[in-house]
Every structure is written in structure tokens, then in C-alpha cells.
Amino acid sequence: MARVSRQSTRQSARQSARQQVHPVDHLLPLPKLTLYGFQHVLAFYAAAVIVPILLGNALGLSEEELVYLINADLLTCGIASIIQALGIWKIGARLPLVQGVTFTAVSPMIAIGLGAGGGTAGLLVVYGAVITAGIATFLFAPFFSKLVKYFPPIVIGTILTIIGLTLIPVGLQDAAGGSQLIGQPEYGDPVNLAYALGTLLFILALVRVGKPFLSSLAVLLGLVLGTTVAWFFGDAHFGAVTQADWFGVSTPFHYGMPKFELLPIIAMTVVMLITMVETTGDVYAIGEITRKKVDGDTVARALRADGVATVLGGVLNSFPYVAFAENIGLVRMSKVMSRYVVVAAGVFMIILGLLPKAGSLVAAIPHPVLGGAAISMFGMVAAVGIQILGKVDLREERNALILAVSLGAALLPTTVPTFFDRLPDDVQAVLDSGITLGGLTAITLNLFFNVFTRRQAMEIDWDDMEETDGPAEPYLGAAAGR
């Protein structure tokens, strides 16, 4: 009896230890890691490859060089996501954050590349600036993390709401057929709208009536079903898959040694300072979703990962990296909070980066189908921001003004694209990003209203949140296969 009692005690202790593991640190079985990880890749893929496409086309690169940039981007995304989620030393937030190329850097990189003559010669100057800015980000990370106290809920909530609201138009453009069709008869075709709406309704139906496991895969299943239907009607094409190579490796400094020039370095460093604000908001958002406490040390580790990934990007013929807000919305929708799912997604990205044929298969997802799924995910990012703003007293005039003016500033580049056309190109490169403009406005107004006047800023009470909300039960149910 004593032996049985001791055995029961040990089993109870092991069970208790498992129950105390936070959902973020819970290691799922391999089949679920595979499914959930692949879902992150599908949600992330289109946004990940759009930056090399935009930059490559602007600099006049050949189709072969463009494919190489895409493969290099995916390979680096995978490595960077693993570093961020798994963590190495003091690098990586150890949260389910997927790393991707920041949209904030697109305009400055195009300006730098064209100023250097375009083509691969322009890329070398871009890579020199990217590597230097990545090193600066890594070194500045611990100092920037000490500024976290100047990012109260009114700032974090506003920035996240802005990120969601400025990303939603990207999903809407895809739903209409993709930005490449703007001005053509195919843009907004009822067939495209039907694919987008059908994908979105299917995702909503799975979340509404499906079991927790099916709900957690709603986005993946929606993309698969939407692509299958589009293929059946002849609107999804896989010809590029047969033409793509099976294997391709991105070698360091493929186009030659980077060139380090002062003005491009300064411009890219400013871009990375702006993305540090974005990453800070993303880290707090994922902390809010997963009920995982976030502090200055967490932010510093996340920013160091951004810096390392950006340096790696410059070496492996890619670009600056930041935590991707798109996938934060997916974590919220699926309620799968394990950071090891992002590690699995990183492995998939590396494979796609090494297998151009596999990458082209994922690229065959029609824009309208992707847009239908993106609308829900980007909207969830805004919903997280609104959830944080719910902790703010918006009856207080100063807080209300911070939110109101920041939203107005963020919507300027989206709603009035020509607003800054008469300003110098270098200034436009910063102001043409709604996320950048709105985020800087929120930070500046908070300093003016709440910091310089020595008003006490409210902070998120993580302990109270964990006690009242607890870990996400739906996630635990999904992990158990209920």
C-alpha cells in the first residue's frame, strides 16, 4: 500500500508540474506542431514575400534574381523566428512571435537602392545599411527596453489598434484580387469577392460551430478549401511549381561584399528605431493574448533578436526583420499559444527557402482567398489593441486626444496617399507608413501630456490579469485533443 501511495504521489507531482507549465512553454505533440506551424506559414507567406518582390521590381532585378531574393527571405525568416521563439542566451523573447521583413523599410530601401544605381549594385548599398542598422539595434536594445515605462496602455493599445487598422486594407486589396490588379477590370471582380467572402465565412463557421481543435485550424482549413475551390473553377494555377527548381541554397554575400555608405546607414538606423517601437507593441500584444508577463527584459531580448535577424538578413541577401503582427492575430484566433509552434513554422520556412518548388506551391494561393483570411487576422490585431485600450480611462481628455490624433495621423498615408508628395523623398520614406506616423504621434503626445507633466502612467497589471483570467483554457483543451 505504501508503495502504491508513493507511486500515486509521484504521478500526482508530475501531473501538477505539467499543469503548472504556461501555455506558451507547452510542447505539443509532433502532428499538432506540424499542423499549427504550417498554418502560421500560410498566414505569413504572402506578406513575407511581398517586400523582396516590391524591392526587386523597383530596382529592376531579373526574374531569376527576384526568385533568389524570395528564397533568401524565407530562409532568413525561418532562422529568425526560431531565434525569437526558442531563445538563445539573452536573445529572443521566448514568445510565439514570427519574424518577418518590416514594411517600414520598403520605401527607404528602394530610395537607397535607386540612389546607388539600381540593380545588384543598389542591393550592395542596401545590405551595408541593413547590417549596420542591425548591429545598432542589438546594441541599443537594453537601453530602449528601459523606456518601456513610457509606453503605458494608451500608447501600446493605440499602436496595436493602428497596426490592425492599417493592415486591414492590405487584406481588402487581396480580397479584390491583389494590388497588382488595381486599375484593371479584374480588380474587384465578383468572383474574387466571392472567394474572399467564402473563405472568411468558412473560417467564421468553423470557429462558431467547430470543436476547439477544428477552431484552432480554421485559418489553415479556410485557405486550403478556398484554394481548392479556386482550382476547381480554374482560378488557381500551379504551373510555376513545375518550372521551379527542387533545391536552392542562399549563400552569404551572393551579390558581392556590401558597401557601407553614411547616409543610407543613417536612414536605415532611423527605420530600425521606428520598428523597435512596433516590436515593443507586438511583444505586449502577445503578452496580453497569452497572459504571459512582459517586462523590460522581455522587450530587450525581443529587440536583440530583431537586431541579430537584421544582421543575418544583410549577410544572407535579405532585409530588416521585425515581429510580425499578422501572426499575432492568428495566435488570438487559434488560441494555440505554444512558442514551439513558431519554432515548427520556422523549420517550414527554412525548408521553403531551400526548396523553391515547395515555396511556389504555397505562393499559388489566390490573392482573394488569402485576403478573406487576412481580414479576420488583421482585425484581431486591432481587437487586441482595443482590448488594451479598455484598461484606459478614455473619459480623461488627454488620453482621448492621444488616441484620436494618433488614429487620424495613422490613416493619412492610407486614405490620402498623396498627402506628403511635396515633401523631400527622405521625409516621405518615414511619413508614408501609417504605422510609423501613428506610432510616433502616440509616443510624442504621451510624452507631452503624461510624462513631461509628471503624471503617473498606468501600467498593465500582469499579476491581476493572470489571477482573473488565468491561462487560456481553450488552448489546453485543443492540446488535449478535445
Q: What is the pLDDT of residues 146-168, one digit of tens each?
A: 776 777 888 878 887 887 787 78
Question: Above 80 in pLDDT, residue 205?
Answer: yes
Q: Counting Cβ atoms within 10 Å, is residue 466 exposed (0-12), middle (13-18) or buried (19+)?
A: middle
Question: Above 80 in pLDDT, residue 36?
Answer: yes
Q: Is this structure's pTM higher than 0.75?
A: no
The predicted structure's pLDDT at residue 132: 92
CA dihedral 396, 397, 400, 404 (to 10 degrees): 180
Phi and psi at 418, nearest 5°, equal -95, 10
Question: Above 90 in pLDDT, residue 135?
Answer: yes
- Mean pLDDT of all residues belonging to the chain: 78
268 touches 130 (CB < 8 A): yes
84-94 burial, b for 16+ CB within 10 Å, e for fewer? bbbbeeebbbb
Question: Above 60 in pLDDT, residue 286?
Answer: yes
- 124 vs 333, which has greater pLDDT? 124
Q: What average pLDDT does the segment 285-302 reach?
A: 84
| Least confident span in 105-114, 330-339, 448-457 | 448-457
pLDDT above 90 coverage of the chain, percent: 7
Within 390-449, residue ranges assigned H as helices are 397-415, 425-431, 434-446
pLDDT above 70 coverage of the chain, percent: 80
Question: Above 50 in pLDDT, residue 479?
Answer: no
